[in-house]
Amino acid sequence: MKNKFILLDRDGVINVEKNYLHRIEEFEYEKNVVSGLAKLRDLGYKFVIITNQAGIAKGFYSEEDYFKLQKFIEEDLRKKGIKIEKSYFCPHHPDGIGKYKKNCECRKPNTKNFELAIKEFEIDEKISFMIGDRVTDLIPGQKLGMKTVLVKTGYGVKNISKLKENGLDSIVADDILEFANLIEEGENQ
Ligand SMILES: [Mg+2]
Ligand SMILES: [Zn+2]
């Protein structure tokens, strides 16, 4: 049997969007994240994170900095009862420096990291969701047959008008908890 998953963007979805966040001291949860993820967990969903980290490509922080913060976030969520199965990241950017300057397949809206997650966790696209605050998070999800959710945290409000022009028929929710409530209502009907 294949698995139902919630794929999550990180910045502006799990944590408050701060330009190129990489310091643990600056990490701050977006509203209703932990309660929303707990509800989705109770509905049987598992979680992976898929994040673009162009700050690495641009030299603002290192891969090591990224791993340090990511470990902190995942351990903190774990203490709160939320398990992130795995985080996939893209350290590249077309205008990056050195080895990170690349037109890669893993930077959203490209689909490589989604495909890796689907394969590794036997994700059933048809019953899984991608949650993001930008259309570039949602495009690869829809392309691969998932349902997509734009949350109004981070850049979400600014991206609502871009849904239509990108052919996205996404659910729009205030935050992860509101989305979780929608799913719960749907299952109880
Ligand atoms: Mg984001
Ligand atoms: Zn990449």
Residues flanking ion ligand 1, Cβ below 5 Å? 9, 11-12, 133, 154
Question: Which ligand sits closest to the CA of 10?
Answer: 1
Phi, psi of 111, rounded to the nearest 5 degrees: -105, 0
* 78-107 pLDDT per residue, tens: 999 999 999 999 999 999 999 999 999 999
Q: What band does 40 get if pLDDT is binned at 50, 70 and 90?
A: very high
Kindly identify the ligand whose nearest atom is closest to the C-alpha of 154: 1
Q: DSSP letters of 126-158?
A: GG-EEEESSHHHHHHHHHTT-EEEEESTTTHHH
Q: Is the preceding omega at residue 109 within 30 degrees of 0, hence cis?
A: yes
Quick one: pLDDT at residue 126? 97
Calculate the average pLDDT of the chain.
97
3 vs 24: CA distance, rounded Å: 32
Each residue's pLDDT tens digit, 90-149? 999 999 999 999 999 999 999 999 999 999 999 999 999 999 999 999 999 999 999 999
Q: Which of 111, 112, 34, 120 is nearest to 77 (CA)?
A: 34
Question: Active-site positions?
Answer: 9, 11
The pTM score is: 0.97
The amino acid at residue 185 is: E
- In order of their start, the domains of the chain are 5-160+168-187 (3.40.50.1000)
Compute, in angstroms, the gap from residue 153 CA to the centroid of ligand 1: 9
Q: Assess contact for 156 and 136: CB atoms under 8 A.
A: no
Q: Is 137 annotated as a binding residue?
A: no
Rounded to the nearest angstrom, the distance between the alpha carbon of 112 and the centre of ligand 2 is 8
